Structure 1
Amino acid sequence: MSTQCHTGQHDHHDVYEAQCPCRAMLDLLANKWSALAIGALEDGPLRFGALQRRLQGISPKVLTQTLRRLEDAGLIERTVYPAVPLHVEYELSPLGHSASVPLRNLRRWVEDNLDLTTASAKPM
């Protein structure tokens, strides 16, 4: 499906076209850690440590990279509070909230259907 491009960068958006910038956003949203970070932030802002505890298995380096990519894409907002020690919170932007809906549905589908897939028989 193709839609008109409102940014003026090209005539239309079509994720199936090799040069479409949509692919970068699809790559970001399809990333496991991005999808989980967005889900973890659905209920409200979290500090880095709380987010890392929620996303069991993510390293601090990968979490930092993921949060930067999501912030650069406009999906999350980072707020720094002038306190000692430094207090930083991450929360979904309005655009991030809109992306969280289909990602929530995908996470639920995975949890509900994993046992029916061949992937459930193999450790990842």
Structure 2
Amino acid sequence: MLNSSVHTLMYSYYGLTAAFPHVNFWWKKYLTVIQMIQFCVAFMHGAIGLYVDCPFPRWMGWALLLYMVSFIVLFANFYLHAYITKKPKKSVRNEAHESNGNGFHAVGRVSAKTKED
């Protein structure tokens, strides 16, 4: 039921962004948080199954735990790069100003030309 609810939110977001691509939906970040919470709940559910010695095969319980850890790591990495360490976008005017004339941006690059050229 939790998984279905999260997927309903996800596909609602995807549908809205496809229908209205010019709108910036403020709740995208929170959707990612909700997904990570879902993975943590699934991890706890799987761990409880191993602890109480459920008749479910133990190897599948451990596989579920590893699977949930991989999702938590991947989504946390996405969240970190998308929302925490997000760099501000440069304007087109600033990018054109920083160009070295050859269509390449000089920022952070070493020129192949020497003083003899």
Fold similarity call, TM over 0.5: no
TM-score, structure 2 length as denominator?
Answer: 0.27
Higher-Rg structure is 2
TM-score, structure 1 length as denominator?
Answer: 0.26
Which structure features the higher share of helix residues? 2
